[in-house]
């Protein structure tokens, strides 16, 4: 009899646990749906549909949404065209599902590179990552950042480590869609990964060239004019813009932008090169990703997808070396990512505390780029 009772109890426990997880997921989805409305996906969906029906892709202005329109190269519009076959809401949910899957796959890859179990990535790291500002904003707005994040990470860690001749394709695709990942090509150059850099560059050229051939008018409009109008997507001083340009605009020191960008590029790429030389590819990619966010004129909080990876790097260092200091750093960075102090600043506040809170992500990224350890690594 005891041999029969044991399996029954175990099945009941698994059923109860499964039911509890389903209830929690349903509750979170309900809360998510009540708070977010796939703001950006609605714009992209309607702009591309407008374009398909004969309108000017970049002339579309979303009603009651601040007159915002499509902000990516024509090839991105082509790749996103399937979203017009369903409603914007359905497209948003499909993209959110794909984003969660991409995040799970990426965390699994990162965990494996750090020597952690894949189960740890899915059971522990994934729920923690979903609670962070960059991830929840990406999913809620209907953005593609997690897909690009997966492309770059899998490309450079999985294919790169295997010595695949296709290394660089993922970086190239991500760069052709959204220009910021182009800094990873610079990283490949400074680390003398010549073939991967050439492959990434050729992929960008191929996709961009295809866009020019297929949509010459839109390409001329985008690359000749709109790409340089950074204010088209919003004011630099907007609190959600957590780049160096955003910080300087908020404190009234925009004249320092070029000099500080050069410093950030030199320091970020140099330290990424050191991490790569020491075999710590996860830290290297984290440094490049954070540097790209700092130097971009516009880095909305949903762009900062490498911040949760920094938490993973710090936590790994704390566990590996039994050192509480990086563990404290991981906790502080994670707290910033979850609480997101930028939204807690009262309108019109000008004190030092308000400025730190309003620029908390910028300050965090600067500290990580300067202080993240690049010691030799062995998984």
The string of pLDDT tens digits covering residues 207-245 is 999 999 999 999 999 998 888 887 777 788 999 999 999
Backbone angles phi, psi at 241, to 5 degrees: -85, 100
> Given pLDDT bands bounded at 50, 70 and 90, which one contains residue 118?
confident
Chain-centroid distance of CA 371 in Å reads 21
Task: List, in order, residues 6 or more apart from 16 with CB less than 8 Å away.
Answer: none
- In 3D space, the residue among 261, 306, 298, 287 whose CA is nearest the CA of residue 190 turns out to be 287
Q: Looking at the DSSP assignment, which residues form a beta bridge with residue 300?
A: 241
**Does the pLDDT of residue 204 top 80, yes or no?**
yes
Higher pLDDT: 120 or 203? It is 203
CB 351 within 8 A of CB 276: no
What tens digit of pLDDT does each residue of 167-197 get?
Answer: 999 999 999 999 999 999 999 999 999 999 9
pLDDT at 92: 93
**How many Cβ atoms sit within 10 Å of the Cβ of residue 85?**
9
- In 3D space, the residue among 151, 134, 144 whose CA is nearest the CA of residue 41 turns out to be 144
Query: What's the rounded Cα separation, in Å, for the pair 309 and 127?
Result: 13
Integer distance in angstroms from the first to the last C-alpha of the chain?
Answer: 47
> Given pLDDT bands bounded at 50, 70 and 90, which one contains residue 5?
low
Q: Average of pLDDT values for 61-72?
A: 75
What tens digit of pLDDT does each residue of 270-314 get?
Answer: 999 999 999 999 999 999 999 999 999 999 999 999 999 999 999
What tens digit of pLDDT does each residue of 82-110 get?
Answer: 999 999 999 999 999 999 999 999 999 99
CB 47 within 8 A of CB 70: yes
Q: Average of pLDDT values for 10-28?
A: 60
Query: What's the rounded Cα separation, in Å, for the pair 133 and 339?
Result: 8
DSSP 153-199: HIIIIIIHHHT-TTTTHHHHHHHHHSSGGGHHHHHHHHTT-HHHHHH
pLDDT at 246: 96
């Amino acid at each position: 009899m005891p041999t029969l009772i044991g399996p029954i109890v175990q099945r009941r426990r698994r059923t109860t646990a499964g039911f509890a997880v389903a209830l929690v997921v349903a509750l979170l989805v309900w809360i998510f749906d009540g708070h977010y409305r796939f703001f950006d996906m609605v714009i992209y969906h309607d702009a591309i549909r407008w374009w398909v029906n004969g309108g000017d892709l970049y002339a579309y202005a979303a009603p009651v949404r601040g007159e915002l329109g499509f902000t990516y190269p024509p090839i991105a519009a082509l790749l996103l065209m399937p979203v017009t076959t369903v409603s914007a809401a359905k497209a948003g949910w499909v993209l959110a599902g794909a984003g969660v899957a991409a995040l799970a796959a990426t965390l699994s890859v990162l965990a494996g590179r750090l020597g952690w179990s894949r189960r740890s990535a899915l059971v522990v790291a994934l729920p923690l990552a979903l609670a962070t500002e960059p991830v929840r904003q990406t999913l809620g707005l209907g953005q593609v950042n997690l897909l690009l994040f997966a492309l770059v990470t899998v490309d450079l860690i999985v294919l790169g480590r295997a010595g695949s001749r296709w290394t660089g394709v993922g970086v190239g695709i991500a760069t052709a869609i959204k220009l910021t990942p182009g800094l990873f090509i610079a990283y490949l150059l400074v680390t003398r990964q010549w073939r991967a850099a050439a492959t990434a560059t050729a992929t960008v050229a191929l996709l961009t060239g295809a866009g020019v051939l297929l949509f010459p008018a839109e390409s001329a409009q985008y690359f000749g004019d709109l790409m340089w109008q950074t204010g088209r997507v919003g004011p630099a001083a907007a609190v959600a813009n957590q780049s160096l340009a955003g910080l300087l605009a908020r404190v009234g020191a925009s004249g320092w932008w070029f000099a500080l960008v050069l410093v950030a590029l030199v320091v970020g790429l140099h330290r990424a090169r050191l991490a790569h030389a020491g075999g710590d590819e996860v830290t290297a990619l984290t440094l490049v990703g954070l540097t790209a966010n700092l130097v971009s004129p516009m880095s909305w909080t949903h762009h900062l997808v490498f911040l949760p990876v920094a938490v993973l790097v710090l936590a790994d260092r704390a566990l590996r070396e039994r050192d509480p200091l990086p563990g404290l750093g991981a906790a502080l960075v994670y707290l910033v990512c979850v609480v997101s102090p930028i939204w807690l600043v009262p309108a019109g506040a000008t004190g030092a505390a308000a400025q730190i809170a309003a620029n908390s992500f910028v300050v965090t990224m600067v500290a990580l780029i300067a202080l993240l350890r690049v010691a030799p690594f062995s998984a």
